[in-house]
Amino acid sequence: MSMGPERMPSGRLDFASAKDVAEFVAMLGRFERGAIGPDEWRAFRLVHGTYGQRQEGDLSMLRVKVPQGIVAAEQLEAIAGVAARHSRGFAHVTTRENVQLHFVRLGEIEPALGALAAVGLTTREACGNSLRNVTASPTAGVAADEVFDPSPYAAAFTRHFLRHPLSSSLPRKFKVAFAGGGADHAFAYVNDLGLHARLLVDGRRAFRVTAAGGTATLCTSGLVLCDALPAGELVALGEAVVRVFHAHGDRHNRHKNRMKFLVRALGVERFRALVDAALAAVRAEGAPSLPFPPDAPPDESRPPATRAPRPSAGALAALVADDAPRVPGVVPRYLPLADDGARARFLATNVRPQRQPGYRLVTVTLPLGDVSSGRMRALAALARCYGDGTLRLTPDQNVLLRWVPADDVEALRADLERIGLARPDPVSLADVGACPGAESCKLAVTQSRGVARLLDAHAEQRPDLLTRAPGLAVKVSGCPNGCGLHHVAGIGLQGGLRKVGGRPVPHYLVYVGGAVGADGARFGRSVAKVPARRVPLVIERLIELYEAGRAPGEDVATFLGRVPVADARRAIGALAELAPDDAVPEDFVDLEDGAAFTGATGVGECGA
């Protein structure tokens, strides 16, 4: 029995509009006839989720918006079909719980959009100067320590602003995240607007509202705009903040027109006054309300009424038999597990209890955040059998299955192993997060996916590193923009270059000690700039430093957050130095790239 979006109340997962597809086709025709210029076309297609790649020609990245990271089984199957027909046979999960499809020809965007819209998926306002995907904690509704489930509120916020008159004409992109409270913070403190679940003293629901957070240039932890906003005023306050940003954001200097720069320019008190005035205006006009009683939202935290039969081993094998991701670029590899202890490690690292007795959360680790078409179809079948017919995309670029009966965990693990997705140790040195990097992005300097794969391979050869530094999150971005969340990782790597003997060599800035918690964000500190191929040795040195200097019971991220920068630099030592006489030919070629490294970048479209 299908467990797709139809089982969700009131079309919970349907965010599509046929008008979006028709409008895209009409505008593409106008562009091809010369009726509109390239600037107008670029601004339009970005708002519709189509981002130009660095390669010459008409290749595009298509970003699928997945509100709150919730994707139904049949939606995942539709994405699999688009990936197989129009992309490279695989999709990429992002740190903002979206799905990206690369190397899509412009002429194939229309059928891709149509296939996605047929199952309720949209690309509207997934890119460009818009209110982007509204994210939420992957464990929302099932986490033992959350205050309440923020999912219904996040969905209502999404629906209010999707295709809103201001949402696609902002000075710059605007990011929103909902956290249910507790440990699963959804990276809300590094969003333009963060909503953190709270309870008032009388038991009513509220949100702590933080604003103007962000990474990249001017890393900022969101300031507290309101400590306890009654839940019923959530959409009205969002409307007020968006109006202030729309009216006062800097539209001339796109490098300094995120909301954090606006707050710095205005001052916190002036910014608060503008928001208060805008909120008063919204109320006077008739404040938008939630589509449910603020303290009694629809409860979706329940197990499915029925489940599909377990797919046979043969059926799973058939789904992945001809599943060969295609170049160009770094393609995912689904290697058999070589470690006899992998089963025990999977159960220890990928399985957690739900708040609801008898059920488990199971993390499916995606290599490089990638999942192939056949494996998407297999995961959809497993979600119908073991879960509730949906999957959650995570900010760590993995997939979470929920509502797995405790007695079925071993069977699920065995089925995941059959399709090559039973890797243990998520969010560790064996599961390095990375943005697409110079493989496709115009702004990237380095092949961030190449160094991520190098570290994954190093962890396979040195499993002791995982046990010596458990929970060490390593994130990579190919440029300073931070799409890989490297600024808030235990160890963050930022792509760059240095010239050695007059020739460019790919390098990475090394940041240590970043994290986001329930009370704010801590940003990593730059301690070195090292040649790309020496990054695994840098990680080893930093783990040795942790072992030598940690306090009893101190985890590695906390230690790296307090260790003096000078100590970290000494630990890395001569690894940061590369003299012309010491360089080998491989140093001048980026990882997973066959051509001589140039470090060339293009004009990005993030603020076009």
The answer to whether residue 556 scores a pLDDT higher than 70 is yes
Q: Is the pLDDT of residue 10 over 70?
A: no
Torsion of CA 533, 539, 541, 544, to 10 degrees: -160
82 in a domain, yes or no?
A: no
What was the pLDDT predicted at 340?
73
Please report the pLDDT score of residue 265 as a whole number: 95
Q: Residues 98-121: what's their mean pLDDT?
A: 97
**pLDDT band at residue 607 under the 50/70/90 scheme:** low
ω before 328 within 30° of 0 (cis)? yes
The total of other beta-carbon atoms located within 10 Å of residue 499's CB is 11
Q: Is 132 within a domain? A: no
Tokens of 294: 């603020």
Residues 194 and 295 in one domain: yes
Query: In 3-state terms, the chain is what percent helix, strand and coil (to 5)?
Result: 40, 20, 40
511 and 381 share a domain? no
Domain that holds residue 571: 433-588
Q: Is the pLDDT of residue 5 over 60?
A: no
* 274 and 149 in a common domain: yes
pTM for this entry: 0.96
Same domain, 169 and 270: yes
Query: Does residue 449 sit in the same domain as residue 517?
Result: yes
Q: Name which of 408, 396, 300 is nearest 360 in CA terms.
A: 408
Q: What does the alpha-carbon distance between residue 566 and residue 517 come to, in Å, rounded to a whole number?
A: 25
**CATH number where 203 lies:** 3.30.413.10
Q: Are residues 267 and 350 in the same domain?
A: no
Per-residue pLDDT tens over the stretch 85-94:
999 999 999 9
Mean pLDDT of 350-378: 97
Instruction: Establish if 194 belongs to a structural domain.
Output: yes
Share of the chain above pLDDT 90, in %: 88
Determine the pLDDT at residue 1: 30
pLDDT at 608: 57
Query: Cβ–Cβ contacts within 10 Å for residue 280, how many?
Result: 11
Continuous segment of H or E residues that includes residue 345: helix 342-349
Average pLDDT over residues 260-270: 97
Same domain, 192 and 336: no
Contact between 184 and 229 (Cβ < 8 Å): no
pLDDT (0 to 100) of residue 338: 61
Strand arrangement of the beta sheet that strand 351-353 belongs to: 70-72, 390-393, 399-405, 359-364, 351-353
Instruction: Please indicate, yes or no, if residue 576 is contained in any of the structural domains.
Output: yes
Q: Specify whether the CB–CB gap between 2 and 13 falls below 8 A.
A: no
Residues 6+ apart with CB under 8 A from 469: 429, 543, 546, 556
1 vs 233, residue with greater confidence: 233
Across the chain, mean pLDDT equals: 94
Whether residues 584 and 462 share a domain: the answer is yes
Claim to verify: residue 291 and residue 330 sit in the same structural domain: no
pLDDT digits (tens, 9 = 90+) for 419-458: 999 999 999 999 999 999 999 999 999 999 999 999 999 9
In a domain, 57, yes or no: no
Domain count of the chain? 3
| Window from 1-10, 127-136, 233-242, 497-506 with minimum mean pLDDT | 1-10
Give yes or no for residue 291 having a pLDDT over 80. Answer: yes
Average pLDDT over residues 110-123: 97
**Which residue, of 392, 418, 444, is where some domain finishes?**
418
Nearest to 72 by CA among 7, 168, 134, 160: 7
- Window from 156-170, 265-279, 311-325, 487-501 with minimum mean pLDDT: 311-325
Q: What Rg do the C-alpha atoms of the chain give, in angstroms?
A: 23
Claim to verify: residue 181 and residue 289 sit in the same structural domain: yes
The CATH number assigned to the domain holding 350 equals: 3.90.480.20
In a domain, 445, yes or no: yes
Which among 557, 598, 330, 594 has a CA at the least distance from the CA of 454? 330
Q: For residue 17, is pLDDT > 60?
A: yes
In a domain, 461, yes or no: yes
**Rounded CA separation 422/177 (Å):** 29
Pairwise CA distance, residues 282 & 513, whole Å: 41
Identity at 113, one-letter amino acid code? L
pLDDT band at 11 (very low <50, low <70, confident <90, very high): low
Among 466, 393, 479, 389, residue whose Cα is nearest residue 434: 479
Sheet bearing 370-372, strands edge to edge:
50-52, 59-64, 99-105, 90-93, 370-372
| Contact of 399 with 66, CB cutoff 8 Å | no
- State residue 323's pLDDT score: 87
Query: Does residue 271 fall inside a structural domain?
Result: yes
Same domain, 501 and 557: yes
Give the model confidence (pLDDT) of 299-332 as tens digits. Answer: 877 889 899 999 999 999 999 998 888 888 888 8
Residue with tokens 């957050």: 561
Same domain, 542 and 480: yes
pLDDT in tens, 407-418: 999 999 999 999
Q: What is the pLDDT of residue 2?
A: 35
